[in-house]
């Protein structure tokens, strides 16, 4: 797995004839032969990511390209049409996993039940999700982070959390600079706790979930209250005079 960061659009370039690179994006001069594949590529990429997920489920996070392509039922060069290299493919898998987590988590966090309940439910959901694809989860953990929040799984999740957390803080008129470090820290907290749990399995999901959520919750509440924000009896945040 190389560390080199490649432009995601390389895939397109690799195939291009070079002739069509000049004045090209004028609306009328579009060649239908070029554009008709645009959505197909996306679909195919997604399909191959699914195959990769299956291969990783089966062979572990170190699954080779050969195993992935076998799982997709094609030969290896095909993969290289859609992904610049192994790293690119595995980053896409990471993004897939992250999306799963985000999709599972956001709805839970954005209800208007008491905050602590949301945190507890969120942990529960999170643990359930990672247990569904442990190997993919390990891949995500181990995979080197890139700086691109769109490509890297951990970054995707962290960015999402940072955004929503920042919103909350700003709404309360608090310093929002902490959103980023806290979000990344939170992600790490989840990753390591999850990894420990999945590897050891020495504790029920419910139990880890309680420990995890109490960690998160108390950190949140403590920080809030230090800045004059308390949680009232309905479980809502409220700014009180300091």
Tell me the window of 10-18, 125-133, 175-183, 224-232 that interacts with DNA (CB under 7 A): 10-18
Cα 99 from Cα 154, distance rounded (Å): 10
Cβ-count burial 30-62 (b if 16+ within 10 Å, e if not): eeeeeeeeeeeeeeebeebbebbbbbbbeeebe
Among positions 115-154, residues that touch a second copy (CB under 8 A) are 138, 142-145, 147, 154
Cα 203 from Cα 103, distance rounded (Å): 26
Cα 159 from Cα 226, distance rounded (Å): 24
Q: Does 3 bind DNA (CB under 7 A)?
A: no
Q: Does 237 bind DNA (CB under 7 A)?
A: no
- Which of DNA, a second copy, none does residue 207 bind to, with CB < 5 to 8 Å depending on kind? a second copy
Q: Does 139 bind DNA (CB under 7 A)?
A: no
Among positions 35-64, residues that touch DNA (CB under 7 A) are 36-38, 40-41, 44, 64
Q: Which is nearer to DNA, 34 or 177 (CB)?
A: 34
Angle made by CA atoms 189, 118, 222, in degrees to the nearest 5: 60
φ, ψ for residue 47, nearest 5 deg: -60, -40
Find the shortest distance in angstroms from Cβ 42 to DNA: 10
Instruction: Select from 140, 162, 44 the least CA-distant residue to 96.
Output: 140
Instruction: Determine which residue in the list 21, 26, 33, 200 makes contact with DNA, applying CB under 7 A.
Output: 33
Q: What three-state secondary structure class fits 237? A: strand
Tell me the window of 80-88, 104-112, 134-142, 187-195 that interacts with DNA (CB under 7 A): 80-88
Instruction: Select from 237, 239, 235, 224 the least CA-distant residue to 118.
Output: 235
Tell me the window of 6-14, 31-39, 55-63, 113-121 that interacts with a second copy (CB under 8 A): 55-63
Angle made by CA atoms 190, 191, 192, in degrees to the nearest 5: 95
Residues that bind DNA (CB under 7 A): 2, 12, 15-17, 20, 30-34, 36-38, 40-41, 44, 64-66, 74-78, 80-81, 85-87
Residues that bind a second copy (CB under 8 A): 2-3, 60-62, 138, 142-145, 147, 154, 158, 177-178, 180-182, 184-193, 195-197, 199-200, 202-203, 207-208, 211-212, 214-223, 226
């Amino acid at each position: 797995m190389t560390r080199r960061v490649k432009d995601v659009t390389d895939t397109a370039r690799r195939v291009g004839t070079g002739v069509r690179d000049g004045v090209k994006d004028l609306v009328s001069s579009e060649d239908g032969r070029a554009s008709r594949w645009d959505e197909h590529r996306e679909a195919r990429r997604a399909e191959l990511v699914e195959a990769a997920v299956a291969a990783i489920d089966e062979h572990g996070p170190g699954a080779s390209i050969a195993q992935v392509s076998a799982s997709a039922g094609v030969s290896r060069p095909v993969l290289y049409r859609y992904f610049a290299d192994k790293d690119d493919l595995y980053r896409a898998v990471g993004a897939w996993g992250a999306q799963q987590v985000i999709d599972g988590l956001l709805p839970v966090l954005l209800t208007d039940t008491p905050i602590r309940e949301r945190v507890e439910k969120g942990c529960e959901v999170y643990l359930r999700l990672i247990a569904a694809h442990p190997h993919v989860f390990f891949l995500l953990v181990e995979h080197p982070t890139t700086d691109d929040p769109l490509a890297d799984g951990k970054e995707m999740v962290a960015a999402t959390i940072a955004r929503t957390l920042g919103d909350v803080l700003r709404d309360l008129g608090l310093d929002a600079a902490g959103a980023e470090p806290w979000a990344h820290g939170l992600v790490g907290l989840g990753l390591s706790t999850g990894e420990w749990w999945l590897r050891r399995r020495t504790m029920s999901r419910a139990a880890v979930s309680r420990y995890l959520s109490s960690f998160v919750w108390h950190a949140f509440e403590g920080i809030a209250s230090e800045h004059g924000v308390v949680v009232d009896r309905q479980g809502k945040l409220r700014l009180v005079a300091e």
